[in-house]
Chains A and B, each alone.
Chain A
Amino acid sequence: MKLNTEKNSNEMTVKLSGELNTLTAPELSALLDKELGGVQKLTLDFAECDYVSSAGLRVLLATFKQLKASGGSMILSNVGENFMDVLSNTGLDAVFDMQ
């Protein structure tokens, strides 16, 4: 999986490319562990990632909780059809902010 990060003061965008699955979710987790400090608004861009398994959802939910606890926010952008299916099947479409 390819992860492209852009940081601008307390805002960060991560563009994901490839599949967010059991083998690749730790890469996203490690990047966020390293870069999330001080970030108030995180945008995850899924334009080039339309496969997110439960291992990926775990990272997203943990990150969402972490940001919420510090008054920040997480936005999922360019969510594709398959990923949207997963979000609605798990009720997470009502939890995460999307644009």
Chain B
Amino acid sequence: MADEKVLRIPAKLEGMDEVLDFVSSLVDAHGCTPQARSQLRMAMEELYVNIAHYAYPDGEGWAEIRGSVEDGVVTFTLIDGGTPFDPLAKPDPDILLSGEERRIGGLGIYMVKSMVDEVEYTYLDGCNRLTLKKQL
């Protein structure tokens, strides 16, 4: 098992930079391409911001990010103890619509799916868990 790094913070928007620094420092230590780093930061931004915005509608909560690299593949897991919610269940937006017809929003999760190799949601032991994998 590869060394796992863990970051546990209050699930607040202000923590986003800390999450993205955590992502960059883990992947940079494993010779990541600038493109893969940018895609991973973006995917983690979308998923973390979702937690900060929606996981705890009635108050404050926590978020935990676990990251590891094995055989050139990075795995990040985002965990929260908030409302059960599978963001991947939402239908993909229609990306062929014209600018005027486009809805403003709804692109975040679609971007995550297109920027990583695998993304999976599970609800386990009272926690939401989103796991993503990407070749560095």
Interface size class of A (residues with CB under 8 A): 20 to 34
Q: A22-B49, A51-B42, A86-B42 are in contact. Are A68 and B99 (CB under 8 A)?
A: yes
Our count of residue pairs bridging A and B at CB distance below 8 angstroms stands at 69
In the complex formed, the residue of B with least CB distance to A91 is B95
A25 to chain B, nearest CB (A): 11
Which A residues from 6 to 62 make CB contacts under 8 A with B? 21-23, 50-51, 53-55, 57-58, 61-62
Residue from the list A21, A90, A96 in contact with B16, Cβ < 8 A: A21
Return the CB mask of B91-114 against A: 1 if under 8 Å, else 0.
Answer: 000011111101011011011001
Residue from the list A54, A64, A65, A95 in contact with B46, Cβ < 8 A: A54
Q: Bound complex: CA of A76 vs CA of B96, how far in Å? A: 19
B25: Cβ under 8 A from any A Cβ: no
For B96, the chain A residues whose CB sits under 8 A away are 91, 94
Interface majority SS on A: helix, strand, loop or mixed? helix
B38 close to A82 (CB less than 8 A): yes
How many residues of chain B get a CB closer than 8 Å to chain A's CBs?
Answer: 27
B13: Cβ under 8 A from any A Cβ: yes
Q: Bound complex: CA of A26 vs CA of B39, how far in Å? A: 21
Return the CB mask of B41-66 against A: 1 if under 8 Å, else 0.
Answer: 11001100100000000000000000
A46 to chain B, nearest CB (A): 13
Interface residues of B (CB under 8 A from A): 13, 16-17, 34-35, 38-39, 41-42, 45-46, 49, 95-100, 102, 104-105, 107-108, 110-111, 114-115
Q: A54-B46, A91-B97 are in contact. List 13 more A-B contacts (CB 8 A).
A: A57-B107, A58-B105, A58-B107, A64-B99, A65-B104, A68-B100, A82-B39, A85-B39, A86-B111, A90-B107, A90-B114, A91-B96, A92-B95
